[in-house]
Amino acid sequence: MKIPELTPRMMRDWLLEEDSARLEQLWYMANFVRERKVGQDVFLRGLIEFSNRCARNCTYCGLRAANGDIARYSLSERDMIGCVGVALELGIGTLVMQSGEGVALETEQLLRFFRFVRHEKKMALTLSVGELSDVEFLAFREAGVNRYLLRFETSNKALYNHIHPAKKNCVEGNQKNGNHTDSDRIRMLRKLRELNFEVGSGVMVGIPGQTVDDLVNDLLLFRELDLDMVGIGPYMPHPETPLALEFEDHKSSYVCSNRELLTYKMIALTRIILPDANIPSTTALATLNREHGRVLGLQRGANILMPNITPQEYRSEYSIYPEKAGTSMGPDDSYAAAVSAIAQAGRTVGAGKGDSLRYLARKGNH
Ligand code: 5AD
Ligand code: SF4
């Protein structure tokens, strides 16, 4: 089968397509490319939400500094080492360490933990702690962190600025990078590439005010940045955040009201334009459609799942949006849910680290 080169016009037409028989063609193409380029394996990443502290005030996220309704926590080093043991027992070769931004990092302690994971346990290590300075990126790279996730959230600059208040409006002590603007993140993503990270980014689908043309531009930016990993999830309104009020005004718009279907379309189109990238079927998708979201993501282009291995007692406090899938589970159940979704999708659990083939191809190792 010959997969057509997708023009922006074709991307737009697919995003607007509502005929389910025609959409079968899109799912078929994405699944075909996925199978041919990254095969049947679904790789598992053990997600550790190691701190819910955050200095920022993104208007969509429940962890924003202004939300006083959650108990803030940071895992101890001992807890984190416990998570490593859990991951290894489950046969998971990659950890994804995620937290809020700016106030969660005891850098020296983290660097020690990262060296332990990489050099003693020989696992792959992904960090997702928001915007950092070049010096910090370098220090983490030197400690062995080999992958970094930083979603640009939307390529529409005005919308980006609208949902990301300037840093000067955020809590004290986190003003070192100046204003929180989109160009920062694009520059940082290029810097991460320069530092030889596997680079991941992504967007939310269904942000109030987002348009189909914005989504086309998101796809073009994925391609321009030549990403190794792309995470795409639906926007989920959180009642304790300002953006939830705006959602009320926009919820019948095409993008907001179709955000589950648009998320599948974005995953499928991303697979077609970046055939060998790693693309997760995201937790937000599994939250919006509890029964089928995870599996449909895998069947429409995704090849990664990120079972949560954070100790259960902390999970309800990592509430970036309400009723996040997996909140009432422990690591074993989250792992079992992932394995079950992989079986339902007719696929196999990948062994090993599951490096991005895109990254390896760029390095000339593949
Ligand atoms: N709905 C969906 N995704 C969200 N994120 C944060 N808040 C929400 C929300 N309300 C996503 C962002 C961020 C990642 C950590 O979680 O894309 O990059
Ligand atoms: Fe903090 Fe990230 Fe949430 Fe923004 S999206 S408030 S940086 S945790």
Predicted local confidence at residue 354, as pLDDT: 87
The tokens for 298 are 């895998």
Distance 197 CA to ligand 2 centre (A): 22
The whole-angstrom separation of Cα 323 and Cα 319 is 8
What is the pLDDT, as a whole number, of residue 1? 77
What is the per-residue pLDDT for 177? 45
The rounded Å distance from CA 352 to ligand 2 centre is 30
CA of 215 to the centre of ligand 1 (A): 16
Instruction: Find the Cα–Cα–Cα–Cα dihedral 181, 241, 287, 356, rounded to 10°.
Output: 20
Write the residue with the smallest CA distance to atom 4 of ligand 2. 58
For the chain, which ranges sit under pLDDT 50? Answer: 172-179
Please give the pLDDT value at position 353. 84
Q: What is the model's pLDDT at position 4?
A: 81
CB environment 260-295: b (16+ within 10 A), e (fewer): bbbbbbbbbbbbbbbbbbbbbbbbbbbbbbeeebbb
- Contact (CB, 8 A) for 222 and 268: no
Instruction: Name the residue of 47, 50, 53, 56 whose CB sits within 8 Å of the most ligand 2 atoms, as the mutation to test its pocket.
Output: 56
List the domain boundaries for the chain: 8-362
* Ligand 1 centroid distance, CA of 196 (Å): 26
* Ligand 2 site, CB within 6 A: 54, 56, 58, 61, 63-64, 100-101, 130, 320
CB 95 within 8 A of CB 124: yes
pLDDT for 178 equals 46
Ligand 2 atom showing the smallest separation from residue 130 Cα = 7
Angle at 209 between CA 208 and CA 212, to 5 degrees: 110
Instruction: State pTM to two decimals.
Output: 0.95
Residue 299 CB: number of other CB atoms within 10 A? 21
The set of protein residues with a Cβ atom below 6 angstroms from ligand 1 is: 60-61, 151, 153, 204, 233, 235-236, 238, 284, 320-321
Substitution site in 204, 238, 247 for ligand 1 pocket (most atoms within 8 Å of beta carbon) = 204
Q: Tell me the CATH number for domain 8-362.
A: 3.20.20.70
Taking alpha carbons only, the member of 155, 135, 151 closest to residue 143 is: 135
Region for 175 from its dihedrals, namely left if φ exceeds 0, alpha if ψ lies in -120 to 50, beta otherwise: alpha
d(CA 49, CA 311): 9
For residue 86, give the amino acid letter.
Answer: V
The predicted pLDDT at position 181 comes to 55
**What strands, in cross-sheet order, belong to the sheet with 348-349?**
304-305, 41-44, 348-349
